Amino acid sequence: MGAEPETERLKDMGSRLARSSLSLTRYIAKAGPGLTMALLLLILHIFQPPFVGSISDLVFDTYQRAHPRPYEDAGVRVVDIDDESIRRLGQWPWPRTDAVRLTDALTNAGAAAIAFDIVFSEPDRTSPARAVEILRQNPEARGDYSEIAALTDHDELLGQAMERGPTVTGYFLTGEANNARPKEHAGVAVSGTPPLDVLREYNGAIVNLPMIGDRASGAGFLSLDAGRDDIIRAVPLIANLDGQIVPSLSLEALRVAQGAGAILVRSTDGSGESGGRGLTEVVAVKTGDLQIPTTGIGELSMYYTAPHPERIVPAWRILQGDLSDAEMRRLFQGQIVFIGTGAQGLRDLRSTPTNAVELGVVIHAQAAEQMILGRFLTRPDWAVGVERALMVVLCLLIALSAPALGALRGGVLAMLALGGVLAGSWFAFRNSGLLLEPIFPALGVVSVYIAITAVSFYREERARSHIHNAFDRYLSPELVDRIARDPGQLELGGEVRQMTVLFSDVRGFSRISERFGPQELISFLINLLTPMTDVLLARKATIDKYIGDAVLAFWNAPLDDPDHEQNAAWAALEMLETLKRLNADNDRDPAWPGQVAIGIGLNTGPCCVGNMGSRQRLSYSLIGDTVNLASRLESLTKAYAVSILVGEDLAARLPGFALIELDIIRVVGRDAPERIFALMGPPEMSSDAAFVETGARMAAALEAYRSRNWAAAEAALETLRGVGTLPGLEGVAGIYAKRVSDFRQSPPPEDWDGISQALEK
């Protein structure tokens, strides 16, 4: 006996575990699309395809445009050979003597370094000896101009000026091999393994004339490599020229300005770090007191200011003495000065995140400003790990939460996660200069949510499609849509509504059934009921059921219909018109049983409507006295020989329609009597003279009948068969004639109230 409770307990526990396991399996199946998407994104993050980098670049470009580096005077100036300078001093290239004057003026003003974004690679054609050669070729030349030829060469003069000042010459790096090389002024030292494999590699250079370049205090390359979209987001500080590390113009200018020795390059193995690609990479470069963090390939991630004219001085103002000595010292003393060409046709134009058209010399100057101010954009070595972990966590959060939360609340969660990722990335950029990519975490949130929502939507659509396939042949489209939107409505129960009910039945259907076989009979019913159903649905009816040849339809459920009484009346009239057309079209068709007639009962009142039946099978239907009376009215159409009978409550709600009172009758199974009306036609018929006359004659007959004036009743009934009366009430007149005749022979009791009693359903 003791073992049985224990066995039952174990069975119950097993049953609960099985249900829990099934529930967990279903939940994981719902989260599966999101988990799959998370795995794909993780694989994608590991391989980092190029398009991801492009999207990240656009995000960080947007950050820079939204919050560019605030301009601060870092002791950097740009001398621009602009259009006005060309207009005042003549076409380019200028005589090297102008470069001499410019260099000496800046040197005398106390510039800390003078860096040329110009390469003096060819001899000056205006030098005295070369100018004399040109003069001697003039047919009108007199003399040999030997005194002029003996003057010092302009390139030599520029070399001397370079030697007098803290100058830095620029040169271009090329992929084409040659023997031209810049002079090594201070050299580059490496802490760790030289990172030559990761640096941009060049095999040649375009350098200054030795008499110029060799006398300068330093030399740096000018080459700027744009990205795939030609936007310069990073400036290389060092490069690989035939196995030798060489510095950029901005880095060399900083070295000369500080009077520093060799530039120090710190590589990953020299700093205890490891390269992300298994290679020795660059961590930072150091010159004098300045240490500059770089990317792994030795580039400075640029943090640009908005265009700022204060850093630029036009060259003509210096060369034409527009600036006093005091003003020159104010502008240039202790400054690093970059000289470049911004004139039309000479411009070295580049694109940056903050400026679509920027001078190359300004980019070098901004690089120097960043290094001096220490305003860096850095991507730490832990960034990839944090981004990957964040992506995985958020993907799992959305994948596991969204199925339970649903589309709306899941969408709110996804938006919060997405906003948090973007806000965190922006906060890191804005406050710490950290480049943390929001792309993969954000893409993970969006993709996982979309995947789960899309699959859930697909499943719901399949379920709705199944419901439509199962029910749309039996229910109105509105009801099918409502159930499809909320399948939970398929429950037992109902509600009480004011509704209008229609019963329709084919007259003499038993006789038709005798003439046709089963298949022919079904074909006839389809051909008859299909257009009738079209009429009903067009008038917003809900088809409750087909009972052989009969149709039960109702209005104002499941959707509200404030005009349900009028819609029902119009539907009944249109059904009669449709039947006339069918009889005319099929007059000679042996599959159509001659002139088919129908009777229609209409009633309105409170009904209980909803999903009714058993737990095994439901039917959206209605019950109530209103429904029963509509059925009785349809049956009475046979006795009164009219097509449409309407109950008293409905007649009161059909103002304007052509209605004629026929009787007060107590139907079978109902104690309360009902005043019934024949619906003769639409509202426009109510003003027709024949209808008005017919109504008046019928009213006179009823008044005489109910007052026991049999002679007057017979006379009034006779007029219903006369000229000027609408057809269709002959049967009613016959019924009352028979009653009057019977009452003449056997008068009704004294308490007779004129109410008729139906003898059959």
Q: Rounded to whole angstroms, how far apart are CA atoms 165 and 108? A: 8
- The runs of H, that is alpha helices, within 499-556 are 509-515, 518-538
The burial of 211, by beta-carbon neighbours within 10 Å (0-12 exposed, 13-18 middle, 19 or more buried), is given as middle
Residue 266: beta bridge partners?
191, 284
Indicate the SS3 state at residue 236.
strand
Q: Rounded to whole angstroms, how far apart are CA atoms 76 and 71? A: 11
Backbone angles phi, psi at 646, to 5 degrees: -125, 135
In this predicted structure, the answer to whether residue 53 has a pLDDT above a threshold of 80 is: no
The burial of 675, by beta-carbon neighbours within 10 Å (0-12 exposed, 13-18 middle, 19 or more buried), is given as middle
**CB 689, CB 669: distance < 8 Å:** no
Query: What value does the mean pLDDT take over residues 675-679?
Result: 97
Q: Which of the two residues, 415 and 607, has the higher pLDDT score? A: 607
Q: Report the 10 Å Cβ neighbour count for 57.
A: 18
Residues 64-79: pLDDT tens digits? 999 999 999 999 999 9
Indicate the SS3 state at residue 322.
coil
Residue type, position 727, single letter: P
What per-residue confidence (pLDDT) applies to 18? 44
**CB 514, CB 592: distance < 8 Å:** no
Judged by average pLDDT, the poorest of 173-182, 454-463, 574-583, 723-732 is 454-463
In this predicted structure, the answer to whether residue 38 has a pLDDT above a threshold of 90 is: no
Residues ≥6 apart with Cβ < 8 Å to 336:
75, 76, 77, 111, 112, 113, 115, 253, 254, 257, 365, 368, 372
SS3 content of the chain, % helix, strand, coil (to 5): 50, 20, 30
Backbone angles phi, psi at 211, to 5 degrees: -65, -15
Q: Which of the two residues, 685 and 442, has the higher pLDDT score? A: 685
Q: Indicate the pLDDT class of residue 309, thresholds 50, 70 and 90.
A: confident
In this predicted structure, the answer to whether residue 167 has a pLDDT above a threshold of 90 is: yes
Q: Rounded to whole angstroms, how far apart are CA atoms 37 and 75? A: 52
What per-residue confidence (pLDDT) applies to 401? 77
Cα 552 from chain centroid? 46
What per-residue confidence (pLDDT) applies to 699? 95
Q: Rounded to whole angstroms, how far apart are CA atoms 616 and 78? A: 88
Q: Rounded to whole angstroms, how far apart are CA atoms 231 and 350? A: 7
In this predicted structure, the answer to whether residue 329 has a pLDDT above a threshold of 80 is: yes
Residues ≥6 apart with Cβ < 8 Å to 260:
186, 254, 287, 288
Residues 421-451: pLDDT tens digits? 888 889 998 988 888 888 778 877 777 777 7
Residues ≥6 apart with Cβ < 8 Å to 509:
548, 549
Q: Rounded to whole angstroms, how far apart are CA atoms 375 and 357? A: 23
Q: Indicate the pLDDT class of residue 323, thresholds 50, 70 and 90.
A: very high
Backbone angles phi, psi at 604, to 5 degrees: -135, 150
Q: Rounded to whole angstroms, how far apart are CA atoms 183 and 38? A: 54
In this predicted structure, the answer to whether residue 405 has a pLDDT above a threshold of 80 is: no
What per-residue confidence (pLDDT) applies to 31? 63
Residues 341-379: pLDDT tens digits? 988 776 677 888 888 888 889 999 999 999 999 999 888
Residue 349: beta bridge partners?
359
Structure tokens at 758: 């139906």
Structure tokens at 679: 């619906």
Task: Report the DSSP pairing between strands 201-202 and 238-241.
Answer: parallel
Q: Rounded to whole angstroms, how far apart are CA atoms 749 and 757? A: 15
Indicate the SS3 state at residue 524.
helix
Q: Rounded to whole angstroms, how far apart are CA atoms 373 and 69? A: 11
Structure tokens at 657: 């329609």
What per-residue confidence (pLDDT) applies to 10? 54
Query: What value does the mean pLDDT take over residues 220-249?
Result: 90
High-pLDDT (> 70) share of the chain, %:
87
Residues ≥6 apart with Cβ < 8 Å to 547:
none
Nearest to 366 by CA among 62, 71, 59: 71
Instruction: Tell me 434's DSSP state.
Output: B
Q: How far is CA 177 from CA 120, 173, 221, 641, in A?
A: 20, 10, 16, 112
Judged by average pLDDT, the poorest of 36-40, 211-215, 338-342, 709-713 is 36-40
Per-chain mean pLDDT for the chain? 86
What per-residue confidence (pLDDT) applies to 110? 96
Residue 248: beta bridge partners?
221
Judged by average pLDDT, the poorest of 23-27, 178-182, 334-338 is 23-27
Query: What value does the mean pLDDT take over residues 312-322?
Result: 94
Query: What value does the mean pLDDT take over residues 638-661?
Result: 96
**CB 394, CB 441: distance < 8 Å:** yes
Q: Which of the two residues, 166 and 724, has the higher pLDDT score? A: 166
Query: What value does the mean pLDDT take over residues 451-468?
Result: 69
Q: Indicate the pLDDT class of residue 489, thresholds 50, 70 and 90.
A: low
Judged by average pLDDT, the poorest of 27-41, 128-142, 543-557, 582-596 is 27-41
127-163 CB burial, b ≥16 within 10 A, e <16: bbebbbeebeeeeeeeeebeeebeeebbbbbbbbbbe
Nearest to 407 by CA among 370, 451, 365: 451
DSSP conformation letters of 350-398: EB-SS-SSEEHHHHHHHHHHHHHHT---B--TTHHHHHHHHHHHHHHHH
**CB 112, CB 334: distance < 8 Å:** yes
Q: Where is 15: in which H helix or E strand?
A: helix 3-47
Q: Rounded to whole angstroms, how far apart are CA atoms 40 and 173? A: 41
